[in-house]
Structure formats: structure tokens, C-alpha cells
């Protein structure tokens, strides 16, 4: 069991909170400092985004952070160099999240080996096709102890969800909608039916809901339906404020209530 599996196995009645932020934002050297601050504030696991020049699934807040991070000089090579100190300072599960192009440029095998070397537990690459992962890369991920996290949307068929459940080794990322990141969670009748449909499938893997979680009410509603919830844009927006480090503990307390 890696750290992700242990976290969900030991969950009990706990509502698991994950935070996403972009590596190299707001400053090039802030990545690991933010991770340590988040763990100390009570976050359960982290998703560190590696920036890409064409983040098509991201809303304006995360797009801006990616653009700023790239201007700051962030790249996968720089990120892995920074993360060499990760496990001396951070104990909770850490995943990397980003688009497939930078991974292919870095080399998939090199990427997976670098993840293992610095203590990364899993990867979320939304535009890596499932069949390509299964046929070409699954063995490399597994050899390096990496959970590959798949995304499910309201439009995902039951057949595909079952396949994702079979391929998954960490958790399933349930998108609250098919919108870009940063839209507020609106739990309508359709959303409730979607969440209930997933729950009724009794999947083997735990589920975490993301997209639109920005406050305590949304966090609670999401974790009424899933094992955990993921907050991204609302936190990245905080990082754009002055004295953001001092504000992080209060932000997390308000989220968790």
C-alpha cells in the first residue's frame, strides 16, 4: 500500500480534503514551502500541478497560475529538483497533475522514475488516453509504485467507469461537472442523481470529487457523496494575495469547518 491507499483505508468517518496548486506559483521556489504549510494546516493529500502552455481544461485562475509559473522558469526538470527535499518535510500523499505533453517530452519512463525517486505517490494526467495507459505505460507506472488517477464526468458511461475502476489503484477523480475548473459547485437534481448513480455502482476504489469546491458548504456537500473533495481554484486564488502563507491555515480551517 502506498500513502494514498493507506489514507483512504484509514479514513473512517473522516472527510478527506485534497488541495491542488501549481508548482512554481506564486514564486519559483514556493512549491515545497506551500506543501509543508498545507500539511501543517490539516490537509490530507496534495495535488501539485506542473504547468503547461495550453491548459484547455482549466479556468482563468489556474490558467493564470500556469502562465506565471512558466514565466518564473518552472519545468518538470526544475520541479523534480525541488522535490528532492519533499519527503524530509512532507509526510502526506502527494500527486502530480498536468497534461500529457510535458510528460511525453520528459519521457514517460524517466518521469515515473523521477516521481519514485522524490516520493510522489500518484499522477493525474487527464488527457492520457486510457487504452494508451493500459497498453503502453501501465507496467512502468506500477514498477515505480505510482497510482494513475482517472477522471469520471457526468457523461462517462457505466462501462468506462467499470474499466476505470479495474485499472485504478488509488482513487477515482469524480468531476462535479464537465465545465472548466473554477466554476462553483451547484448541487442540482441532476448532480445529485449523478453522484447517487456512482455511489450505487459500489466501486472498489474510493472516490474524490473535484471542480467547484470553494467553501465549507460545497466541501460538506461533496463529501456527503464521496470519500473526499478536492479544492483547486479557490486555493490558487489565495496564493495570488499578499501574505498568502499566513492565510493558509485559516483558509483550511474554514473549508473543513
Active site residues: 47, 58
Distance CA 186, CA 51 (A): 27
Q: What is the 3-state secondary structure (H, E, C) of 135-181?
A: HHHHHHHHHCCCEECCEECCCCCHHHHHHHHHHCCCCEEEECCCCCC
**Cell 473554477 belongs to residue:** 182
In angstroms, the CA 18 to CA 163 distance is: 24
Paired with 123 in beta bridges are: 96, 148
Distance CA 252, CA 249 (A): 5
Collect contacts of 238-246 with beta carbons under 8 A, ≥24 apart.
239/21, 239/25, 239/26, 239/30, 239/34, 239/65, 240/26, 240/64, 240/65, 244/26, 245/33, 245/34, 245/37
Amino acid at each position: 500500500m502506498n500513502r494514498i491507499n493507506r489514507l483512504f483505508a484509514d479514513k473512517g468517518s473522516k472527510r478527506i480534503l485534497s488541495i491542488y496548486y501549481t508548482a512554481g506559483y506564486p514564486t519559483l521556489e514556493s512549491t515545497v514551502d506551500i506543501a509543508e504549510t498545507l500539511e501543517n494546516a490539516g490537509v490530507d493529500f496534495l495535488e501539485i500541478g506542473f504547468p503547461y502552455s495550453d491548459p484547455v481544461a482549466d479556468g482563468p485562475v489556474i490558467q493564470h497560475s500556469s502562465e506565471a509559473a512558466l514565466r518564473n522558469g518552472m519545468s518538470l526538470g526544475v520541479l523534480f529538483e525541488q522535490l528532492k527535499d519533499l519527503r524530509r518535510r512532507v509526510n502526506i500523499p502527494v500527486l502530480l497533475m498536468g497534461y500529457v505533453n510535458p510528460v511525453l517530452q520528459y519521457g514517460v519512463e524517466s518521469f515515473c522514475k523521477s516521481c519514485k525517486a522524490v516520493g510522489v505517490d500518484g499522477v493525474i494526467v487527464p488527457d492520457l488516453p486510457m487504452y494508451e495507459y493500459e497498453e503502453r505505460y501501465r507496467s512502468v507506472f506500477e514498477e515505480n509504485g505510482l497510482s494513475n488517477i482517472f477522471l469520471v464526468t457526468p457523461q462517462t458511461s457505466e462501462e468506462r467507469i467499470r474499466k476505470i475502476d479495474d485499472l485504478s489503484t488509488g482513487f477515482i477523480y469524480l468531476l462535479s461537472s464537465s465545465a472548466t475548473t473554477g466554476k462553483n459547485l451547484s448541487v442540482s437534481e441532476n448532480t445529485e442523481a449523478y453522484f447517487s448513480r456512482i455511489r450505487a455502482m459500489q466501486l472498489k476504489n474510493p472516490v474524490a470529487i473535484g471542480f467547484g469546491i470553494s467553501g465549507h458548504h460545497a466541501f460538506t456537500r461533496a463529501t456527503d457523496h464521496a470519500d473526499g473533495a478536492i479544492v483547486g481554484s479557490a486555493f490558487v486564488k489565495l496564493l495570488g494575495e499578499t501574505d498568502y502563507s499566513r492565510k493558509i491555515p485559516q483558509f483550511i480551517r474554514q473549508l473543513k469547518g
